[in-house]
Amino acid sequence: MFFKKLYFSVILTVFTVFSGSSQDYFLESKEPFNPEIPSPEVFLGYAIGEQHTRHDLIVAYFEKLAEISDRATIEVYGKTHEHRKLVMLSVSSHENLQNLNSLQESHLKFSNPNLSPTNYNEIPIFINLGYGVHGNEPSSSEAAMLVAYTLVASNSTEVLNYLKNAVVFIDPAINPDGRDRHTNWVNQLRANSLVSDPLDAEHNETWPRGRTNHYWFDLNRDWLLAVNPESIGKLNWYHKWYPNVVTDFHEMGTNSTYFFEPMKPIGSENPIMPKENYEDLNSLFAPYFSKALDSVGSFYFTKEAFDGTYPGYGSSYPDLQGGLALLFEQASSRGLIQDTEFEKITFPFTIRNQYVSSFSTLKAAVENKEYLRKYQQNFFKSTQLKFPKNSTVAYEFGDSFDKNRTKYFIDKLLIHKIKVFKNGDKFVVPLNQPQKRMVQTVFETYNKYRDSVFYDASAWSLNNFYNMPSRALKNVTLGEELNDTKDLVQVSKVDKTAYSYILDWDDYNSAAALYFFQSQGIKVASAFKPFTIITTEGLKKFNYGTIMIPVSKQKKSSIEVYEIVKNAQEKFDVPIYAVNSGFSSVGIDLGSNNLKAIKKPKAAILIGEGVNSSEAGEVWHLLDTRIHMPITKIRINSFSRASLEKYNTIVMVSGNYNYLDSLQIGKLKRWVSSGNTLITIAGASNWVIDKKIVKENLTKSPKKDSLVERLPYVDASENNGRERLGGAIFEVDLDVTHPLGFGYRSNILPIYKNNSVFLSPSKNAYSTVAKYASNPHIDGYISNKNLEENLKPSASLIVSSLGQGSVIMFADNPNFRGAWYGTNRLFYNALFLGSEISVPRN
């Protein structure tokens, strides 16, 4: 029976691929259709499932629907890095769309904890069908076109009922840049005689593949971090609508079947998300999905996999906003047709499952309208519950040494509609507010788990990402509410001087200002010791790493230098001071040998097959978007013909560098030895040690007992998963007098670890810049074994000399997901000061 059913559905789909003349395979249950509305097939000139559809055509089709139908309107909610439009098609009955503003107003009353409307059934339910966050999981965006067509053109009783009782917001492609990267790949390699062999190039994209966006970021991690325009646009849209139900359609391995929720239970013991969400709501919806998939003969699984613990997924963030977010995963055909362990899986077959699940979502939402509205209302009401005595009622934060980093942190809070108040120098976030659960998400840390295997990160306390000094308050004075951060950073305008300008290195934006100076041909020096000096604004104390511009030593006139300095200050809002005398009142004078001239970085990064594209993308994104510095992306297979003399800094991230043979490794070593800087991140730090490019070691695990305990076979994957470090936050002890630690005021620094790179502290007393603290756990899951045997004895950041140059080894990724503002500074220091770091003798 099992085989027969599957066989039948597969045969049917193959037939449809070849016939290509009709979309009945998808649409027949929704007849009759308005003939005046073009189907995707009529509009595109090919049937859905016959080839992969380019993003601009998806947008054009949606624009067409909005133009000719009174059931649809379209909105552009953002633009991608590559300037593709992010669109949302709103579909409902003509009457609902005409009254959309007042419906929105009534709908939003349910998410206002101070109001208590009871007209649960009078307002249509708000549903957001989101498709294609991963660009190379192509079935869902094709299904989006069929769903839009069906809703706009079908006059079946079923569809008319949905239109009356729901407003459906269709986002056909959350990640257009990745989508087109994959679409173009498949379309250029597909043949007229379809090739189902999984080894065919059509099914195997080259690096970096289409999953991620322009900078190779996984947008399905970015809902919380809001680093990319795709997520920022979506969040701005989201907080205007608070949909009751949100879908997130994906694809998984070709040999799998289909997945819908419930997922594995939430990993943390005290999840912020209400239990009703993943218990009651999911069990309410699941029968709709199973029934619909059974009816088309599709197989599926639930409960065994995926967890919604991390709040930055498309299938978890809406759960923290009083909605129900739903994850769907379809086995991928990737290209048009592919062999599986059973038979062949076709593109139309995968599209049909997503189409079927889209409509069962609509059915479930409409039939449970009242329940979902009450749920959302209770969700927001529960944020107003009285606090027990002596509990935390607010968080206070702020870093007066780094106003821009503080501002960026506040920007992140505001995008999640967290209320922030300014009270003197400090900022306050009360827990008593509709976004209480987001406040908890940002500030609370966890160490108790019901499960030990996480699908992704188990730590996401954003205040640690930003290294933001903060504390919990038992009572609170709020101060004035911030609506935006426009005027938050006020720097006093720098005076003109003929002697010297001083740039405070403590500010996050100073790295961008420094590169701006260097790119304008200004020579600068970095202070390797602190000093206190009279500026035109009075006596100022400057930290390690302060940047000094000696005016008379420039090739430009003092007026030209002033213009550049003023310009940098206006661009980056950085603290810059003018001084008229080099004599300090404390510490080094401005002519000291401890003010070291620093070189402009000429950077390259190795990329390509085998390299971790996320880590590489994070470096590219940081330099390109935050400090506006070009970086050459060298494919590993071009390394042998690269003239390395053009660069003084090379970055290597985790990856497989087997392509670099001993000849290439020798070339790299010679280049470092002649005075250049190699920065290695995570796995690449292992690699330089393995290849003996540096004389450092990895920590050795204690020898295992020869007697192995017998364990149940079924537990193997759970047991092995337990030792994986999915992503957690630890405290390191940083040497703030080391150039790599410049600009930090405290030796305590939170870092993010999601690997098993454990570096031995160096034998050189001055090389271990950051070591894990004696009690390092801050947030997230780590097994006791990993913590005690591997992490505690190891180092997070070491630097090693090689000839005249140095190798800077990060065990942990300082640029994780573009969101680690707190540790970016370590990387900036490596980039700008690397050439000035010499390792003293023991």
Determine which residue in the list 52, 134, 334, 419 makes contact with Zn ion, applying CB under 5 A. Answer: 134
Q: Encoding tokens for residue 328?
A: 């769907």
Question: What are the CA-CA distances from residue 364 to residues 166, 360, 378 (Å)?
Answer: 11, 6, 20
Asked if residue 203 binds Zn ion (CB under 5 A), the reply is no
Q: Report the C-alpha dihedral over residues 285, 294, 156, 283, rounded to 10 degrees.
A: -10
Strand partners, 76: 87
Asked if residue 182 binds Zn ion (CB under 5 A), the reply is no
In the complex, least distance from residue 318 CB atom to Zn ion, rounded to whole angstroms: 16
> Which range, of 131-139, 431-439, 447-455, 801-809, touches Zn ion by CB under 5 A?
131-139
In the complex, least distance from residue 175 CB atom to Zn ion, rounded to whole angstroms: 10
> Which range, of 136-144, 177-185, 506-514, 747-755, touches Zn ion by CB under 5 A?
136-144
Name the residue nearer to Zn ion (CB basis): 250 or 403.
250
Q: Which of residues 454-493 bind Zn ion (CB under 5 A)?
A: none
Question: What are the CA-CA distances from residue 256 to residues 126, 251, 253, 360, 648 (Å)?
Answer: 32, 10, 6, 21, 47
Pairing of strands 324-331, 258-260: antiparallel
Asked if residue 669 binds Zn ion (CB under 5 A), the reply is no
In the complex, least distance from residue 126 CB atom to Zn ion, rounded to whole angstroms: 24
Name the residue nearer to Zn ion (CB basis): 225 or 684.
225
What is the C-alpha to C-alpha distance for residues 795 and 771, in angstroms, rounded to an integer?
Answer: 4
> Which range, of 11-19, 127-135, 150-158, 441-449, touches Zn ion by CB under 5 A?
127-135
Name the residue nearer to Zn ion (CB basis): 326 or 590.
326
In the complex, least distance from residue 137 CB atom to Zn ion, rounded to whole angstroms: 5
Task: Give the 3-state secondary structure of residue 470.
Answer: strand
Name the residue nearer to Zn ion (CB basis): 137 or 307.
137
Catalogue the E-assigned strands of 12-114.
Answer: 72-79, 85-91
In the complex, least distance from residue 209 CB atom to Zn ion, rounded to whole angstroms: 12
- Give one DSSP letter per residue of 509-577, joined into a string: THHHHHHHHHHTT--EEEESS-EEEEETTEEEEE-TT-EEEEGGGSSS-HHHHHHHHHHHHHHH---EE
> Which range, of 133-141, 386-394, 644-652, 707-715, touches Zn ion by CB under 5 A?
133-141
In the complex, least distance from residue 136 CB atom to Zn ion, rounded to whole angstroms: 9
Give residue number: closest CB to Zn ion: 250
Q: Encoding tokens for residue 261?
A: 């929720």
> Which range, of 128-136, 448-456, 740-748, 767-775, touches Zn ion by CB under 5 A?
128-136
**What is the DSSP code (8-state) at residue 434?**
T
Determine which residue in the list 71, 181, 234, 250 makes contact with Zn ion, applying CB under 5 A. Answer: 250
Closest by CA to 123, choosing from 109, 133, 113, 135, is 109
Name the residue nearer to Zn ion (CB basis): 319 or 506.
319
414-445 per-residue burial string, b: 16 or more CB within 10 A, e: under 16: eebbbbbbbeeebbbbbbbbbbbbbbbbbbbb
User: Cβ(603)–Cβ(632) under 8 Å?
Assistant: yes
In the complex, least distance from residue 327 CB atom to Zn ion, rounded to whole angstroms: 9
Name the residue nearer to Zn ion (CB basis): 213 or 435.
213
In the complex, least distance from residue 132 CB atom to Zn ion, rounded to whole angstroms: 9
> Which range, of 72-80, 135-143, 254-262, 434-442, touches Zn ion by CB under 5 A?
135-143
> Which range, of 97-105, 132-140, 750-758, 811-819, touches Zn ion by CB under 5 A?
132-140
DSSP H/E element including 260: strand 258-260
Residue with tokens 């339910």, as numbered in its chain: 125
Name the residue nearer to Zn ion (CB basis): 134 or 416.
134
In the complex, least distance from residue 211 CB atom to Zn ion, rounded to whole angstroms: 7
Name the residue nearer to Zn ion (CB basis): 248 or 504.
248
Half-sphere exposure (Cβ direction) of 837: Cα atoms closer than 13 Å: 32
Name the residue nearer to Zn ion (CB basis): 133 or 227.
133
In the complex, least distance from residue 256 CB atom to Zn ion, rounded to whole angstroms: 12
Kindly determine how many residues on this chain lie close enough to bind Zn ion according to the rule CB under 5 A.
Answer: 3
In the complex, least distance from residue 133 CB atom to Zn ion, rounded to whole angstroms: 6
> Which range, of 5-13, 44-52, 159-167, 250-258, touches Zn ion by CB under 5 A?
250-258
Handedness of CA 427, 432, 433, 439 (dihedral sign): positive
Name the residue nearer to Zn ion (CB basis): 134 or 363.
134
In the complex, least distance from residue 216 CB atom to Zn ion, rounded to whole angstroms: 15
Name the residue nearer to Zn ion (CB basis): 250 or 412.
250
Q: Encoding tokens for residue 731?
A: 């405290």
Name the residue nearer to Zn ion (CB basis): 134 or 599.
134
Q: Encoding tokens for residue 260?
A: 């819908």
Name the residue nearer to Zn ion (CB basis): 212 or 768.
212
Tell me, residue by residue from 137 to 176, as one string, x for binding to Zn ion by CB under 5 A and - for no binding. Answer: x---------------------------------------
* Helix, strand, coil percentages, rounded to 5, for the chain: 40, 20, 40
Q: Encoding tokens for residue 557?
A: 């006139």
Interior angle at CA 546, CA 542 and CA 550, nearest 5: 110
Name the residue nearer to Zn ion (CB basis): 211 or 369.
211
Asked if residue 334 binds Zn ion (CB under 5 A), the reply is no
In the complex, least distance from residue 362 CB atom to Zn ion, rounded to whole angstroms: 22
> Which range, of 83-91, 130-138, 514-522, 762-770, touches Zn ion by CB under 5 A?
130-138
User: Cβ(145)–Cβ(105) under 8 Å?
Assistant: no
Give the count of beta carbons closer than 10 Å to the beta carbon of residue 171. 24
Name the residue nearer to Zn ion (CB basis): 39 or 175.
175
In the complex, least distance from residue 324 CB atom to Zn ion, rounded to whole angstroms: 19
In the complex, least distance from residue 250 CB atom to Zn ion, rounded to whole angstroms: 3
User: Cβ(278)–Cβ(266) under 8 Å?
Assistant: yes
- What angle do the packed helices 139-153 and 347-367 form, to 10 degrees? 50
Catalogue the E-assigned strands of 740-792.
Answer: 748-753, 768-779
Site for Zn ion, rule CB under 5 A = 134, 137, 250
